[in-house]
Structure 1
Amino acid sequence: MSTVSVTQIIEAPADQLWRLLVELPDRADWLSTVRAVELLTPGRLAPGTAWRETRTQPDGAAHTEEFVVVEAVPFRRLVLSSPGIGVDYRTTWTLRAVRRCGRARTAVSVRQEALPTAPYGRVLALLLGGLAARAVEGAFRRDLCDLARAARPPAAAAAAA
């Protein structure tokens, strides 16, 4: 099993960040690499909710993954599973309020565990583990930056542009 974890402090309250994470149809509006989101289950986000997300890869190619919600604890934790070839992935988003000088900040952590489901999954993890881990870490850092940017008030976002 390999694990990648990234944390960033974001200048926004956890409830605002949670809404961005769980409003699935809107993910393509704020995640810079997401081209499309296709909902596979109706209703509000809850365990069992499934969707497909198509992202642009660094080489420009499109890659589609399917996600299923395993656990959703509002404003605190979102756990997703995603099947791969010989490996299943579990991604956990954790939000923790951080108060400094009266400002609302949230420590957002995203962690992915790769769980081999077939013998060749273990072999691939050994051969490509470091390279894949660096790619996943970079993608998570970009997603956290996108989340921080989407959470900025419109005036702050315009001033930063």
Structure 2
Amino acid sequence: MSTVAVTEFIEASIGDVWRLLTDLAARPRWLSTADQSETLTTGPFGPGTRWRECRERPDGELLVEEFLVTDCDPPHRLVLSSAGIGVDYRITWTLRTVRRRRRACTAVTVEQEAEATAAYGRLVGFLLGGLAARAVESALRRDLADLAHALGPTDTPAAA
């Protein structure tokens, strides 16, 4: 299993960050790589919520991903799972209120864990491990920067 984690300090309340992060209909408006989002379940956001996004990969090709909320502790923790080709992903968003320069802001950490589920996934992980980790880190930083931009001014991200 490989894990990549990134943290961004966002100058917005934890409640505002949580609301935007969990507003599935709004995702294509703030997430620069998401072209569309389709909610696949009904009811309030929480464990069991499932949606599909069409996202642009770094190489420009479109990728359809399906996400499932596996754990949710509003407004502090959100855990998603997504099945890939030969690899399953677990994405954990952790939000906490912190003080920076005498002002309250929200530290948002996103951690992605990848676990190979087939020989193909293990081979790719072995051959491209470091390169893949850097690509994942770059994608997570972009998603956090998009979230921060949608909520207002922010500082430079700090690696976790």
State the TM-score, normalizing by the size of structure 2: 0.90
Q: CA RMSD in A?
A: 1.5
Instruction: Tell me the distance in 1 between the aligned counterparts of 2:24 and 2:133.
Output: 25
Instruction: Tell me the distance in 2 between the aligned counterparts of 1:117 and 1:92.
Output: 19
Structure 1, unaligned runs of 5 or more: none
| Bigger RCO of structures 1 and 2 (CA < 8 A, at least 6 apart) | 2
The one-letter amino acid of 2:6's match is V
SS in 2 for 1:44: coil
Return the offset for 1:41: 0.6
SS in 1 for 2:63: strand
Is 1:134 the counterpart of 2:134? The answer is: yes
> Which structure shows the bigger proportion of residues in helix conformation?
1
Is 1:50 the counterpart of 2:57? The answer is: no
Is 1:83 the counterpart of 2:89? The answer is: no
Instruction: Tell me the distance in 2 between the aligned counterparts of 1:12 and 1:6.
Output: 18
State the TM-score, normalizing by the size of structure 1: 0.90
User: After superposition, where does 1:110-121 map in structure 2 within 5 Å?
Assistant: 110-121=110-121
Residue-by-residue CA offset, 1:73-131 (whole Å, 9 max, x unaligned): 10100000000122110000000110245522011100000112223322221112212
Range that drifts further, 133-142 or 122-131: 122-131
The one-letter amino acid of 1:148's match is A
Aligned partner of 1:19 in structure 2 is 19
Structure 2, unaligned runs of 5 or more: 155-160
Identity of aligned residues (%): 60
Instruction: Tell me the distance in 2 between the aligned counterparts of 1:82 and 1:129.
Output: 19
